Structure 1
């Protein structure tokens, strides 16, 4: 290949939006300001969360880029970007979410290991590219070999892989399913991918934790069993609260794939001052993995004693509560509820139910795990109420 490479230093990093909430600079990991998330159904590329394990890879000449399709395939391929663009283009609106989203709340129960994400380690975008199953069919792969797996390799230089490339895999049955809508994306929100999001090519696996949507893709390999790389076998697994670093057995758990139902409050924020007797708009997002759309969002302003159903929308506030067939199943819904405030102390709580009737756990301590992944507990925001005559 020779033109796409993973540098070993951080001297050639791309420009980033200064409003991002930076959790680490090297490697660069940052999330969106929560209130910015609910401004638009589609997250702008510059504000979309950044999750990296090393310096951002560099490409010298996109015209010389090659993607290798190999492994257990009848006809190995070497494809250029133009070859991929010549295939039928498919777009999918999908939310990508880090498995560690909302890790900071879990770390307040007991210490966990990982980037300290708050509630914004995710974003929703319109991805464009070639369907993965079209590319695999070009290499002669057929559905009858569906018990195999498809491994994606990047040029990302990762210390966790002893300086080797970032890797991940999905079952071949998922890769070959048109309903799964797995694509090799070269566009994001109608524009060419930028470097932070995988330029020139990335995998997008809708409904699955972001770790499987490998960026800076260089190789696709059909293999007999799931990828044996670090991020499949020694990370991104969920253990019970009884497991610690002294008794952990990585082989006892499967790699995380679909993410559970999630529903944080983006506005107002913890500690905000609100005036009694006024009206307040509460806003957030809700999302569930595996193509399971959101059926309902419930909001409480009294700590969970009583509940009201919020309005859900996608696409410029087109409400979907009465039109479930319009729901984009791999995308989040944004929601809002306007309430009249009282003099009582306010604790706003939000929770969601997905189309399979999956619900969220009430208490984060019941799902604590040493890696701090999949915190989907009820989200709570405590507000300070001031008298009606107060000046804010």
Structure 2
């Protein structure tokens, strides 16, 4: 019997909102027609999913017993450097106020009052789109066109935002409230104001995370590796590998897990985890990097929207599993059958879903798979261990050289289609626009989704403002370029680019790949006799180099932040 893993309707869900921005939302009748069937399917599937066949509590206890292992394997120096670094970055995400008060909690006397019934009449743009939030009533009609979550804004039309923002507490902070207040048109009648109820906690019982991870958001959890730990090992230990979640972590039973394959010129086929493990087992060493890595540097002089990543939203691992093309071939995949591959896409759906059952999704052009040197892996192991829950247990797609947003975790479906994934993370998020474009002026269709990532480098051993003794100083860091391009050179300057010293680069580990999917770790001994500004830049095998500053690559989302990394060291 076929297992339904995700809704067959591939429309933008109105419920899943980008975790980096506000979401004022509404729901149209389009969704009502399909929701009952979709909800029934989702409930049946979720009821069958258990956490590795164990209770979540027993798994958490197991995770707790392992938490100390990774740090113990790393050097004391690295740990102490991390402790020092946390004092510099902890304040980046200090605005975590789940029930922060503001004008939305106030009655504005110069504005009219409306009842809940009056708000409910405004559920589409023919009548204007209204929503309520605590004591405020808002007309968000004009915001719909620029909402980063796309049609997900069509969610709470004629109703309250509160139950939906419980799923995304990141919205409940002052800057989001300020944006919402721009659309305020009135007050909600006092008798209709319902204080926020204790909602279902969609994040209850999530896996334990290593205490060394620097938390950038709690719900959904997002945490980066302390940069000082990144140079300790070529393969980043699983427990401290950065975590980027967009939705609650799903509970998946490996025994009942199924992966669905379908699409153009394919026979619809379902695979269990054991089926996938029957294919030839291959390993690649590959770096996965969040598109927002180093965002805080880009936002130093001009505000950007997104999680406050420093340089730790990146990691390198040994990924083991079955080649995607091998699994597709068993479903009828024949490269010669796709003469117009440039117009086709490979779509990936995850098991992480919102309240309506719609899932995280992404896609890449089919032409990637037709490149015999592209190593797309259905990974079930990470660094020779079963892939951890936060990283996609039991199976994730690993698309090396491509921005991490496309390597979908908890993979449920792969399909070949004439259209891209309609997920907002494909259609609106993870796109880069001109420095002159803002959220108010953006045309999301004007830019393609990020695929290959540009060359970047980072100093991990020291933080901006560190004090060092005069004399020899050992600098360490990483460099990486997407698209399978290797790093041919890393250079250090102590005089703002007048002269450069070439750093030593570690060996790479391509394993079974013909491309360079991994970062390099580098080190350089420099002589510091006075206060100095240290610059680092990398050159990849295509002789692409990083830009000197962020002026010409700035974008309002703070993506692909790849300018020279610069830190100031004080000599003493």
TM-score higher than 0.5: yes
> Corresponding residue for 1:66?
258
Deviation (angstroms), 1:34: 0.8
Q: Higher relative contact order at CA 8 Å, sep ≥6: structure 1 or structure 2?
A: 1
> Corresponding residue for 1:213?
407
Computed over aligned residues only, the root mean square deviation of the Cα atoms, in angstroms, reads: 2.0
TM-score (structure 2 length as normaliser): 0.63
Give the strand-richer structure, 1 or 2.
1
Residues 1:349 and 2:535 are matched in the alignment: yes
Structure 2 unpaired stretches of 5+? 4-44, 52-199
Residues 1:152 and 2:348 are matched in the alignment: yes
Greater alpha carbon shift after TM alignment, 177-186 vs 37-46? 177-186
Structure 1 unpaired stretches of 5+? 321-325, 387-392
In the alignment, which of 79, 82, 85 is matched to residue 271 of structure 2?
79
Residues 1:52 and 2:245 are matched in the alignment: yes
Greater alpha carbon shift after TM alignment, 255-264 vs 298-307? 298-307
The total of aligned residue pairs comes to: 373
Pair 1:149–1:327, CA change in 2 (3 A): closer
Superposed CA offset, 1:191-227 (max 9, x none): 0011000001000000000000000001111101222
How far, CA to CA, are the matches of 1:298 and 1:99 in structure 2?
23
How far, CA to CA, are the matches of 1:158 and 1:178 in structure 2?
36
> Corresponding residue for 2:485?
292
Superposed CA offset, 1:322-378 (max 9, x none): xxxx99600000000011221x22111100000000011101122110110001000
> Corresponding residue for 2:212?
19
How far, CA to CA, are the matches of 2:313 and 2:281 in structure 1?
28
Residues 1:270 and 2:464 are matched in the alignment: yes
Larger Rg: 2
Superposed CA offset, 1:79-108 (max 9, x none): 011110000011110000000000011111
Q: 2:227·2:461 contact (CA, 8 Å) conserved in 1?
A: yes
> Corresponding residue for 1:371?
557
Q: Secondary structure at the match of 2:260?
A: strand
Deviation (angstroms), 1:304: 2.2
Q: Secondary structure at the match of 1:64?
A: coil
Q: Secondary structure at the match of 1:93?
A: strand
Q: 1:8·1:55 contact (CA, 8 Å) conserved in 2?
A: no
> Corresponding residue for 1:100?
292
Q: 1:93·1:328 contact (CA, 8 Å) conserved in 2?
A: no
How far, CA to CA, are the matches of 1:104 and 1:377 in structure 2?
12
Residues 1:112 and 2:299 are matched in the alignment: no
How far, CA to CA, are the matches of 1:109 and 1:178 in structure 2?
43
How far, CA to CA, are the matches of 1:153 and 1:260 in structure 2?
26
Deviation (angstroms), 1:272: 1.1
Residues 1:135 and 2:327 are matched in the alignment: yes
> Corresponding residue for 1:323?
none
Superposed CA offset, 1:115-170 (max 9, x none): 110011000000001101111111112213133211000121258xx762000011
Q: 1:150·1:221 contact (CA, 8 Å) conserved in 2?
A: yes
How far, CA to CA, are the matches of 2:50 and 2:207 in structure 1?
15
Deviation (angstroms), 1:8: 6.3
Q: 1:8·1:157 contact (CA, 8 Å) conserved in 2?
A: no
Q: Secondary structure at the match of 2:296?
A: helix
